[in-house]
Amino acid sequence: MTGQENTSQTAFQMKDDSYLLEVNNLKMHFAITRGIFGGVRGYTKAADDVSFFVRKGETLGLVGESGCGKTTVGRCIARAYEPTAGEILYRRADEAVVDLAQFKGSEVRPYRKDIRMIFQDPYASLNPRMTIFELVSEVLKVNRMATQQEMKERVQYLLERVGLRPEYMQRYPHAFSGGERQRIGIARALITYPRLVVCDEAVSALDVSVRAQILNLLEELQADFDLTYLFISHDLSVIRHICNRVVVMYVGKVVEVANGLELYANPMHPYTEALMSAVPVSNPRLRDRTIRLRLAGEVADPSNPPTGCYFHPRCQYAQDICAVEEPPLREVAGGRFVSCHFAEDLDLRGATMEE
């Protein structure tokens, strides 16, 4: 560690000792260029002033429509992207707090083993020219974290732990099904024994039956390896099953944060209400209780968002103030946050809850 890095570690504090990660006012803006000289003509605000926290050992869900910025946030946390602005405070194993957003280049490397990702597409995320052993152990080899024998033993153990036979190590990805490939991706994410795993739509590309198996496996691994998950998904049924708390995003902004059961039963933001109305109900006797809310208009353009509340052009409860004043993300109850001027006044309908 450099002296400069040690100085930065003592400069940050989190609001609560139970937090493993705290994201404050995170922004990720992508430049829109044109012409052969690449002149910048604007920015796409994929993540715009995002704030939330993740407690040690919990599973935090990050939900929203496609294009809302949830994957961008996950990749900023894993430092696949360098954020435009904001803080990504991370509590190390020695309890020192660092801001991952400030790190450049090789400064990020020591934290690659602590924060890992499971990707959405089990086909595209595995190099077809590498054996399973090479894929899973690559991060150990590149960072010189283990000897060849140690890598072999660790890969063998993790393959068994995710439900694959260790003799598969010398096979190539084409020999495996989608569910088996995702198990390989999980083993690859766990090879460094991380503390935080970002699951980016980790089951959305899988068949329903395989999806349930992978979710159960993730829950088992969380208990066995003392993992914390940031679970990114657009599937509200999956989020309800696996997540302790949920962060709802709309066009790059956080609109609501709540305990999972509270969010589903009693949403406080109109956008969350619309999402809850889309939760599928498997019991046919309860389907007549569900009223699907269909939002008017289109999702706002993140490169040219509306003034005020980004959701106001589609909101049936919008008033004049919504078009001119952006509502702050504020705490309305213990641990519950919402970005709506009229959150306390609205009586919103939750998802149909099945017993």
- What amino acid occupies position 102? Q
Given a contact cutoff of 8 angstroms between Cβ atoms, the answer to whether 185 and 126 are in contact is yes
Asked if residue 4 has pLDDT above 50, the reply is no
Query: Given a cut of 80, is residue 38 above it in pLDDT?
Result: no
pLDDT tens readout for residues 180-204: 999 999 999 999 999 999 999 998 8
If you compute the radius of gyration of the chain from its CA atoms, what whole number of angstroms results? 21
Which residue has 């989190």 as its token pair?
14
Read off the pLDDT band of 317 (50, 70, 90).
very high
Residue 286 lies in a domain: yes
Q: State both tokens at 272.
A: 């969350």
Q: What is the pLDDT of residues 144-176, one digit of tens each?
A: 888 999 999 999 999 999 999 999 999 999 999
Does residue 130 fall inside a structural domain? no
**According to the model, what pLDDT value does residue 10 have?**
47
- In 3D space, the residue among 26, 112, 28, 125 whose CA is nearest the CA of residue 72 turns out to be 28
Return the structure tokens found at 344: 């306390």
The pair of three-digit structure tokens given for residue 31, joined into one six-digit string: 């430049």
- Residue 152 included in any domain: no
pLDDT at 29 over 90: yes
pLDDT digits (tens, 9 = 90+) for 204-222: 888 888 999 999 999 999 9
15 is a domain residue? yes
Structural domain contains residue 139: no
> Nearest-CA neighbor of 88 among 67, 111, 109?
111
Q: 305, 312 in Cβ contact below 8 A?
A: no
Phi, psi of 85 (to 5 degrees): -160, 170
pLDDT of residue 279: 77
Within a domain: residue 50?
Answer: yes
Taking the C-alpha atoms of residue 18 and residue 3, their distance in angstroms, rounded to an integer, is 27
User: Is residue 250 within 8 Å of residue 65, measured between CB atoms?
Assistant: yes
More confident residue, 279 or 104: 104
- State the CATH number of the domain containing residue 46: 3.40.50.300
Cβ(232)–Cβ(239) below 8 Å: no
Residue 155 lies inside a defined structural domain of this protein: no
Q: Does any domain span residue 240?
A: yes
Q: Give the total number of structural domains in the chain.
A: 1
* Residues 252 and 242: beta-carbon distance below 8 Å: no
Instruction: Report the pLDDT value the prediction gives residue 352, as an integer from 0 to 100.
Output: 62
Of 165-174, 176-185, 251-260, 293-302, where does mean pLDDT reach its minimum? 293-302
Which of these, 230, 93, 119, lies nearest to 185 by C-alpha position? 119
Domain that holds residue 23: 3-35+42-114+194-338
Cβ-proximal residues to 300 (8 Å cutoff; 6+ apart), any chain = 251, 306, 310, 311, 313
**pLDDT score at 288:** 62
pLDDT at 3: 39
More confident residue, 73 or 10: 73
Q: What tokens were used for 221?
A: 């691994």
